[in-house]
Amino acid sequence: MSNIVAIVGRPNVGKSTFFNRLIQRREAIVDAVSGVTRDRHYGKTDWNGKEFSLIDTGGYVVGSDDIFEAEIDKQVELAIDEADAIIFMVDVESGVTGMDEDVANLLRRVDKPVFLVVNKVDNAKRAEDAVEFYALGLGEYYTVAGINGSGTGDLLDAVVAALPEKEEVEESELPRFAVVGRPNAGKSSFINALIGEDRYIVTDIAGTTRDAIDTKYNRFGFEFNLVDTAGIRRKSKVKEDLEFYSVMRSVRAIEHADVCLLVLDANRGFDGQVQNIFWLAERNRKGIVILVNKWDLVEKDHKSTKEYEKAIRKQIAPFTDVPIVFISAMTKQRIYKAIETAVEVYQNRTKKIKTSTLNEIFLPLIENYPPPAYKGKFVKIKYVMQLPTPQPQFAFFCNLPQYVKDPYKRFLENKLREHFDFTGVPVSVYMRKK
């Protein structure tokens, strides 16, 4: 499991610029997938060979100035709970502000590595001005210029050195299914319905479960680990609807799962927060099953399921090959179907296809529909194979990989889905030089 590093601080100190700087090398690769600009505040990066997840809290604060302070305090508290290291960013131009002091007060009590980073230090005069940040009582600070990246190397060396070594979790052979979704969508009720005992106390207050709990599930001939993220937090701390919270909580569970069961409340629909979690799972190349919960409470006519499903598929395009199951955790309607579907998606994700079979199917197909010529040059695809990765990735070997554009890769992906069932699983198609 990778470490989580959170960037905190008041608005406009340059958190997002800094975040984008660190992520961009990776983002370029990660986001070659149909331009995922949807959730710009979470990413993976690595430094000196150590990979970690980075969360920019800045993207999640909304509200007027007076709300800002309360929101930022909440985010810092969440980051303190959840992250393995915290980057606290301040701005040399405005000096120490009251809000900076508030954040520093919260951070001084923490026994996790905290890095005070003074941003916008791009000349010697400003480097001298940075001295006043000693007043925050957080000890040494790092000076950086988010715009051109100077100083980030030293900072990252220190951050990576301070990250705790993650114990390799005993990888059991069992598939891991994570139940994710926004607070109050019915994740705990769903798990209780499955396990058949109220092991989690389910109440109407969002967030009564405290820790991501793994439950071994063994019924109806299925065996797997259930990872529950149901509203894990201390109620007193975090207001109902903090988007940052849902994402922060889901990150660990998703990164560590094989299949994500995304539970949403039928009455609230597939809103922004649910979409964020969906794209988080997609970007981590996990299997996905969408569970529309509380379906028993929805006023229905003969076509409501179809309409509802169509609306969701529209929002998750181009990755529309995802199973959607309408359930009710309360009446246990289609609970079993949900698990059956998750097991199928897991099997699709771990499916290995023989190279000979791939070539038999794809070479004639590609001959009939070759990639469009580019600048008068013809692309010839000679050979295709599946890569030995945990999730489905395919390499097509050709003479001019750089000329094969996204629409053709999508065509190949759709053909893969047509011939071999990859429902619920992101499929990656790479062009390689023969």
- Binding residue numbers: 9-16, 56-60, 119-122, 181-188, 228-232, 293-296
Length of the chain as a residue count:
434
The type of residue at 312 is: I
Q: Give CB contacts under 8 A, 24+ apart, made by 24-32.
A: 30/283, 31/283
The answer to whether 287 and 345 have CB atoms below 8 angstroms apart is yes
The answer to whether 178 and 259 have CB atoms below 8 angstroms apart is yes
Write phi, then psi, for 171 (nearest 5 degrees).
-75, 105
Max Cα separation, the chain? 71
Q: Which residues contact 210 (CB under 8 A, 6 or more apart)?
A: 232, 233, 234
Dist. CA 92–CA 354, nearest whole Å? 59
The answer to whether 215 and 195 have CB atoms below 8 angstroms apart is yes
The answer to whether 2 and 51 have CB atoms below 8 angstroms apart is yes
The answer to whether 5 and 41 have CB atoms below 8 angstroms apart is no
Q: Would you state the structure tokens that stand for residue 17, as one six-digit string?
A: 């610029």
Q: Among candidates 49, 426, 30, which has minimal Cα distance to 260?
A: 426
Q: Among candidates 219, 223, 227, which has minimal Cα distance to 173?
A: 223
Instruction: Name the percent of the chain in helix, strand, coil, to the closest 5.
Output: 40, 20, 40
Write phi, then psi, for 268 (nearest 5 degrees).
-95, -25
State the binding site for GTP.
9-16, 56-60, 119-122, 181-188, 228-232, 293-296
* Chain CA centroid to CA 417, Å: 24
Dist. CA 145–CA 18, nearest whole Å? 8
The answer to whether 240 and 206 have CB atoms below 8 angstroms apart is yes
Print burial letters for 237-254: b (CB count within 10 Å at least 16), e (below 16): ebeeebbbbbbbbbbbbb
DSSP E strand boundaries for 166-242: 176-180, 213-219, 222-228
Beta bridge partners of 398: 381, 433
